[in-house]
Structure 1
Amino acid sequence: MAEKEARNHRRESQNGSTSHAKDKSSEKATVLHKNVGLMSGISLIVGTMIGSGIFISPKSVLLYSGAVGPCLLIWTACGVLATLGALCYAELGTMITKSGGEYPYLMEAFGSLLAYLYSWTTIMVLKPSSFAIITLSFAEYASAPFYPGCTPPTLVIKCLSAAAIVIIVIVNCLSVKLASYVQNFFTAAKLVIIIVIVAAGIVLLAQGNTENLTNAFEGSSASVGAIGLAFYNGLWAYDGWNQLNFITEELKDPFRNLPLAIIIGIPLVTVCYVLVNVAYFTVMTPTELLVSPAVAVTFGDRVLYPLSWIVPLFVVFSTFGSANGSCFTAGRLAYVSGREGHMVKILSYISLRRCTPSPALLFNGVLAIFYIIPADINTLINYFSFAQWAFYGLTALALIVMRFTRKKLDRPVKVPIVLAVLMVLVSCYLVLAPIIDKPELEYLYCTIFIFSGLLLYFPFVYWKVNWARSFMRPITMHLQLLMEVVPPEKNE
């Protein structure tokens, strides 16, 4: 009898341990997993940075800099600046290993209010507008072959852009690994076209096509505001250098892979960008480059005929891959912000089957579709850069502040503080110079929008008004059932 009871007790214990294991397994299904390795991290940085920028921005950088020499210098300086900024972010990312990009760093250094304003601005405007800009570029290049000799209709471009947004959001909602494979494939594709353009440029230089590179500084712009706008458009092409900080929680061995991916990825992109611009100038005069509707396509038509069709094809690959990377990281910021209570809770929920932040990804995609309606890429770039560089500067300032207020935090990567000081100064210049030189209403609208977030912050976040929770609870429940998502487990 005693033996029977012992056997029953052991059986119950085993059943309990099995049940406990199942509970543990279900817990794992409600957190984002570490699926991003070093190669995927480099692909995310390179793939997001090399997107539409190098095929759009050369015209704007040349326009505002005024000559070939300053244009190439600005492209190089933008690469150096992106590298310095990314090194500052490497210290922050290995010190505070949370996803969400600048959000957790601003939260740690300055508190809830500034972090909320960042998440409000970035989630509602910066990330979806960036997504929209890239997909509009994708649509322009994808539709161009069907309308030879003329500009594709605006409606076609917008519809194609919206279709790309829907496809990318679906891919990212289905699987983190699938999104990573897509990113790796399109990163390889865009490096192929970059190598083709650079190799063609080297051949042309060897043949003596250097007319446009002589007297390179003749006609340079001396305006402080114009140089600032040239940097805006150059840095737009480099945007993405901070993307890995948005997915720190999903990065394998972040203390090693975060700084290593930065050190490999950003200098690679810088070299590619400068050489691509040199290649452009071996074929086109500054005037021809400025009037070209699609710089890379014009280059292909003149140099690679009859294989010139490969340029728009690979540019389509490049912009699609960049849009995928932008979507991938944007969802993580909305997810973290919802988890901290700065956005509606449903944005922090995770797909039970897929382990992806699908509500956050869908929200970003819907907003991006709204942003394709204006279709004015230059206005969107200026709007994006003004606010983004204000937050870059504040994040660099956060690094300086935490050197004094968070001395006990472990810093596996520690950069010279002068780099952070330089980032703050450059950010101030990039924010203020264009406004002083040529004040425009878009800067005022951007500032008003940023601070309009306070109208929601105080009642819903700071004071935690009860009626708002009661109103959102049934909506959250129905959305949770519809999308099969669950709240994330708290990190131990």
Structure 2
Amino acid sequence: MRTAPQPDTFKRSFRLFDATMIVAGSMIGSGIFLVSADITRNVGSAGGLLLIWLVTGLLTVAAALSYGELSGMFPKAGGQYVYLKEAFNPLTGFLYGWSFFAVIQTGSIAAVGVAFSKFSAYLFPFLSEKNILFEVFSLKISAAQITSILLIVFLTFINTKGVRNGKVIQTVFTVTKLLALFGLIIFGLIGSANHEIWHSNWETGFSISQFDGTALIPYSGMAIMGAVAASMVGSLFSSDSWNNVTFIAGEIKNPERNIGLSLFLGTLIVTGIYLFTNIMYLSILPLKEIAFAENDRVGVVASQHIFGNAGTVIVAIFLMISTFGCNNGLILSGARVYYTMAKDGLFFEKVARLNKNAVPEKGLWIQCIWASVLCLSGRYGELLDYVIFVVLIFYILTIFGIFRLRKNKPEIHRPYKAFGYPLIPALYIISASLICVLLLIYKPSFTWPGLGIVLLGIPVYYFILRKKTQSVQETIL
């Protein structure tokens, strides 16, 4: 009995709407319901809170507009890995792919999975991270960790069956959470009859001060810049993963047009939602309640104000939907990077093959295993703190790559050119570089370990090259 031949190319199955849902769905997880608390403690004002989210949104949209040119030039699987390899060299591309697999994507999958479990515990208390199921030496395994692993395994399995199932899940869950967020914003703004809260919050204006719960403590000297940079770590992470759509470029219809357009539309939609969500917070919650919400869960407190006792359940259901859809987008897109790396001989050889459903099944399962290990380690949160700095560096390098490619490879067809070139890409590079410098100064415990993870990829790269050389020599002999 003959078996059907394995496909060697991806199927172009994603339309513009599907691609936009990948962008928006991968960005919106649980961050918008949490990080505003830390931002408010750092900046101490209503204007400062909105300014952080606005600047983050502008940076994100600017980067997305710049990526449109690259996606049009290289409309194939791998996205940012391919852009860095083409603009610089294979080592730079590998260092991104190494960091991507080691922690950026897999750490995000683990963190979002555990967030799903934590919010599920509102409805099903036995899923709590406090419910320790067993211990292995000094490692405690909780029900939340097991639930997160089961979620990752389930979504991985679904995505091995072809892009159709993953696409449907992504579209349905993203549309649902967008509508739910719109509803929460509208109900919150309609119900904010007490304008005293809004006016009281705005008495702080746009001043930047540390808020300790009782008083605003002014920063001295350059510390104000450090506070702004530290505040943006959370908002930048909440707005990250928009580039995931570039990883599935080989499966998008009319990629030269639709990738760039989906990047712009998706980031613009999410930026608007994030801004209005924070306006809603300021309309119904005093600044102190935002800054010192229990466990930083500002969204839960806001929902309780809007819907009463049912608010906790409503937000828990919403966040289960949100994190479920977010993780599907991360899992679906991530494996395409490993597939392209394997095609270049820089990842496990078998990952370079598609299964009968035209998806990189082995890449999906390897990603699943490592993300599950990170879930069990309990260290995913720290790892993500380390790499937000690294993520920014790779964004800077990638956008700088536009300038290099225009100079070194002007002959490549560019169906779409970066909006506002060279001004907007240059502004992004300068702004993001400034944030990185400030983080190096004021958050060294996060930034240097992040750099260490990246630099560890250098000896790994040369080890792989040596093994490839030895293999070729043995074949010749």
- TM-score scaled by structure 2? 0.87
Partner of 2:16: 38
RMSD over aligned Cα atoms = 2.4
Say yes or no: does 1:340 pair with 2:344.
yes
Say yes or no: does 1:356 pair with 2:326.
no
Letter in 1 for 2:384: I
Letter in 1 for 2:51: L
- Which residues in structure 2 correspond to 1:57-456 (within 5 Å)? 57-147=35-125, 152-153=130-131, 155-208=142-195, 209-210=197-198, 211-218=200-207, 220=209, 222=219, 223-289=224-290, 290-293=292-295, 294-305=297-308, 307-308=310-311, 309-352=313-356, 354-375=357-378, 378-415=381-418, 416-440=421-445, 442-456=446-460
Q: Matches of 1:213 and 1:292 in 2, distance apart? A: 23
Structure 1 residues not aligned, in runs of 5+:
1-21, 471-492
Change (3 A) 1:432 1:201: same
Q: Matches of 1:469 and 1:400 in 2, distance apart? A: 38
* 8 Å CA contact retained: 2:389, 2:439: no
Change (3 A) 1:422 1:120: same
How far did 1:26 drift? 3.9
Q: Matches of 2:253 and 2:437 in 1, distance apart? A: 39
Identity among equivalent pairs (%): 25
How far did 1:374 drift? 4.2
What secondary structure, in the 3-state scheme, does the structure 1 residue paired with 2:444 have? coil
Change (3 A) 1:374 1:281: farther
Structure 2 residues not aligned, in runs of 5+:
133-141, 211-218
More divergent stretch after superposition (83-92 vs 280-289)? 280-289
* 8 Å CA contact retained: 2:393, 2:436: yes
Q: Matches of 1:469 and 1:350 in 2, distance apart? A: 28
Partner of 1:3: none
How far did 1:157 drift? 1.7
How far did 1:172 drift? 1.1
Q: Matches of 1:125 and 1:373 in 2, distance apart? A: 14
Q: Matches of 1:153 and 1:421 in 2, distance apart? A: 50
* 8 Å CA contact retained: 1:133, 1:380: no
Change (3 A) 1:55 1:465: same
More divergent stretch after superposition (443-452 vs 217-226)? 217-226
What secondary structure, in the 3-state scheme, does the structure 2 residue paired with 1:234 have? helix
How far did 1:251 drift? 0.5
What secondary structure, in the 3-state scheme, does the structure 2 residue paired with 1:350 have? coil
How far did 1:153 drift? 3.7
What secondary structure, in the 3-state scheme, does the structure 2 residue paired with 1:351 have? coil
The count of aligned residue pairs is 445
Structure index of larger Rg: 1
Q: Matches of 1:245 and 1:147 in 2, distance apart? A: 38
Cα displacement string for residues 67-109 of structure 1 (whole angstroms, at most 9, x for unaligned residues): 2211111111111111100011100000111221211111111
How far did 1:218 drift? 4.8
Q: Matches of 2:74 and 2:397 in 1, distance apart? A: 16
What secondary structure, in the 3-state scheme, does the structure 1 residue paired with 2:274 have? helix
Change (3 A) 1:173 1:266: same
What secondary structure, in the 3-state scheme, does the structure 2 residue paired with 1:267 have? helix
How far did 1:359 drift? 0.7
Partner of 1:8: none
Q: Matches of 2:472 and 2:157 in 1, distance apart? A: 30
Q: Matches of 1:381 and 1:451 in 2, distance apart? A: 16
* 8 Å CA contact retained: 2:48, 2:207: no
Q: Matches of 1:369 and 1:438 in 2, distance apart? A: 28
Change (3 A) 1:464 1:71: same
Q: Matches of 1:377 and 1:367 in 2, distance apart? A: 11
How far did 1:206 drift? 4.9
How far did 1:267 drift? 1.2
What secondary structure, in the 3-state scheme, does the structure 2 residue paired with 1:373 have? helix
Change (3 A) 1:36 1:87: same
Letter in 2 for 1:338: A
Q: Matches of 2:402 and 2:247 in 1, distance apart? A: 17
